[in-house]
Amino acid sequence: MNGYEFTFAGERLTALGSGALWWRERRLLCVSDLHLGKSERIARRHGIPLPPYEVTDTLDRLSADLERTKPETVICLGDSFDDAEAARALPEPARLRIATLQAGLRWIWIEGNHDPGPVAIGGTHLRELTHGPLLFRHIAQDGAQGEISGHYHPKAALRLRGRNLTRPAFLVDTARIVLPAYGTYTGGLRSDAPVLAQLMRPEALAIVTGATPHAVPMPR
């Protein structure tokens, strides 16, 4: 399993190359910002047709992570659907596939700003969740400790072989973790954006996703 192990709030966690967070001791897999149905929402609101493959691709990658880790609990950390209508418009094969992925698992949908209400799909719907020393919510809040959130879709800017690149990244300091977006059509916010530079403490690391996840000082 390609991942970067680190300690946070006294717990051993693994940032997977896919952008998922794995808590082995609690058999818990956490992903953020799936934004399922984004192609439908963009076509509906803006009249821009996009290939409608992002749901399948996102669920393919999630299925692979479930197969690798064999979790007991899955937390989807908000903005799992691009908006409430996108959730309702989800094709029946996709709905059935989500139900198949959920089978036998404790599946928790955390409320996001794109999907503020419960959706007619299996699982438990919560505003936030405290589990052991960790607090799972969609958007980071001031003064939090042991907080795991998403929302910002962080990316780290890197220079590799003379090229400037950006890659989705976990941002980690002693108080919080901000997960990268997991969804296929999601964009990202560079870690040197003022909101992230102010949110994260000076010691923050960026754990860059990909085939070999690795940590670097958070680019500011």
d(CA 84, CA 155): 26
The whole-number pLDDT of residue 163 equals 77
Which residue carries 């939090």 as its tokens?
144
The reported pLDDT for the residue numbered 175 is 98
Query: Quick one: pLDDT at residue 1?
Result: 75
The CA–CA distances, whole Å, from 133 to 33, 129, 175 equal 23, 11, 11
Pairing state between β 73-76 and 11-16 = unpaired
* Domain CATH for 153: 3.60.21
DSSP 48-92: ----TTHHHHHHHHHHHHHHHH--SEEEE-S--BSSHHHHHT--H
pTM of the model: 0.93
How far is 158 from 132, CA to CA, in rounded Å? Answer: 34
CA–CA distance, 133 with 119 (Å, rounded to integer): 28
How many domains does the chain divide into?
1
Q: Find, among 218, 185, 214, the residue nearest to 61 by Cα.
A: 185
Task: Provide the domain limits for residue 167.
Answer: 3-217
Residue 121's contacts (CB-CB under 8 Å, 6 or more residues apart) are 87, 90, 95, 98, 99, 109
Enter the tokens of residue 62.
């999630």
Two structure tokens written together for 38: 């984004």
Residue 52: per-residue pLDDT: 65
- Determine contact, residues 137/127, Cβ cutoff 8 Å: yes
Q: Quick one: pLDDT at residue 154? A: 98
Residues 6+ apart with CB under 8 A from 128: 110, 111, 135, 136, 137, 138
Per-residue pLDDT of the chain (220 residues; tens, 9 = 90+): 789 999 999 999 999 999 999 999 999 999 999 988 755 555 555 555 666 678 889 999 999 999 999 999 999 999 988 677 767 778 888 889 999 999 999 999 999 987 766 667 889 999 999 999 999 999 999 999 999 999 999 999 887 667 778 999 999 999 999 999 999 878 899 999 999 999 999 999 999 999 999 999 999 8
Please tell me the predicted confidence (pLDDT) of residue 50. Answer: 60
